[in-house]
Structure 1
């Protein structure tokens, strides 16, 4: 198995449509570089307690979807629908982290996004998350116990605290980095803000690997 040469750390929120619309771009990179790229997702709650939840049918949200979300979704070939609920996302993050323990993180991560943005499911509801996870092969009883005990709450908060320490104020936010050659300092990491197109990622890879990406 190829060791990773390129690391992409991505801070996102399950309730952010632009984070969902970043997944096909990251899929392109994974398809291009295979196991030589490691994509690491991190939590970033846009509306943690006690931040007020916005009205899902507000003019501002509808306007953003009409002018920005739907056009980008069409461009990237992703089906999305404006959800009728605006949930908190901490439990969803805890569910995804729980799934990592059984190597099902990617599967559950995608399923949560899809459930919210394609099916309009309230991903702030524990029962809904248990159903989503069960379809991905996760034991719902163990997951329910984990959520109830807040087993992974600290990991969510750690992700968010680190993001704030490096100046992340919105998502999606990606940081591309690489290890240095033996005896050499690695190049400085490169940050990409917003739902950046694949061309921006490719340009960052070229800057990190001026002599060409080792995976070819």
Structure 2
């Protein structure tokens, strides 16, 4: 029988949000500590969907935010980051990640999209860039291109964002740590806003499961 997780972490993020990328190593730490007892579920949240104006990559405000907030946290979390020269929309990147999930390659593509933008400064809103990322990650770029052209995953992205609205999410990263319900214990959830440190996730687990996290069955 497949393992049944004892805990779920739903994470809403955007591939063009630096703080979402900075949360990846934190979640890796948490995964290393709890293993298969936890299931991560990533959700789309476009900070600037059509027709919202895009950020100016050369703006003083953006560079000030990087200098005083992003880069100090990147150094603390040992993440390589550079100010991207472009500020794209991210819907096609999310659709690419969903295609990868269906192909069993979500994690590697998810990380590759983040790194392409924040390490290499590539336009992850450009389909050709996404096709190259897919090919590098072992996916068939022609199949991905067909899926993107058909809008096969567009509704799934919109559904993620509709759910975010129901939850009351207005910014990312945003995580919901929830306890799986059992016959004797009801489900329960704790929300964590922003680029929370791993200690906050562990504290949430302690509150949700004061007797400790049981191993998956």
- Please report the TM-score for the alignment, with normalisation by the length of structure 2: 0.97
1:87 Cα offset (Å): 0.2
For 1:144-194, what per-residue CA distance to the aligned partner results, in whole angstroms no more than 9, with x for missing partners? 0110110000000000011011100000000000112323322x3000000
Unmatched 5+ stretches in structure 2: none
1:2 Cα offset (Å): 3.7
State whether structure 2 residue 167 is matched by structure 1 residue 148. no
Instruction: Give 2:124's aligned residue.
Output: 123
Number of corresponding residues: 215
1:69 Cα offset (Å): 0.3
1:215 Cα offset (Å): 3.3
State whether structure 2 residue 35 is matched by structure 1 residue 34. yes
Instruction: Give 1:211's aligned residue.
Output: 211
Q: Distance in 2 between matches of 1:184 and 1:213?
A: 13
Bigger RCO of structures 1 and 2 (CA < 8 A, at least 6 apart)? 2
Partners of 2:5 and 2:180 within 8 A in 1:
no
Q: Distance in 1 between matches of 2:178 and 2:192?
A: 11
1:29 Cα offset (Å): 0.8
SS in 2 for 1:23: helix
Instruction: Give 1:5's aligned residue.
Output: 6
Partners of 2:37 and 2:213 within 8 A in 1:
no
SS in 2 for 1:180: coil
Q: Distance in 2 between matches of 1:117 and 1:8?
A: 24
* Structure-to-structure mapping, 1:1-216, within 5 angstroms: 2-186=3-187, 188-215=188-215
Q: Distance in 1 between matches of 2:6 and 2:29?
A: 16
Q: Distance in 2 between matches of 1:136 and 1:214?
A: 34
Structure 1 residue ranges (4+ consecutive) displaced by more than 6 angstroms after TM superposition: none
Q: Distance in 2 between matches of 1:102 and 1:150?
A: 17
Q: Distance in 1 between matches of 2:129 and 2:27?
A: 26
RMSD: 1.1
Q: Distance in 2 between matches of 1:180 and 1:206?
A: 16
For 1:121-149, what per-residue CA distance to the aligned partner results, in whole angstroms no more than 9, with x for missing partners? 00010000000010001100010011011
Unmatched 5+ stretches in structure 1: none
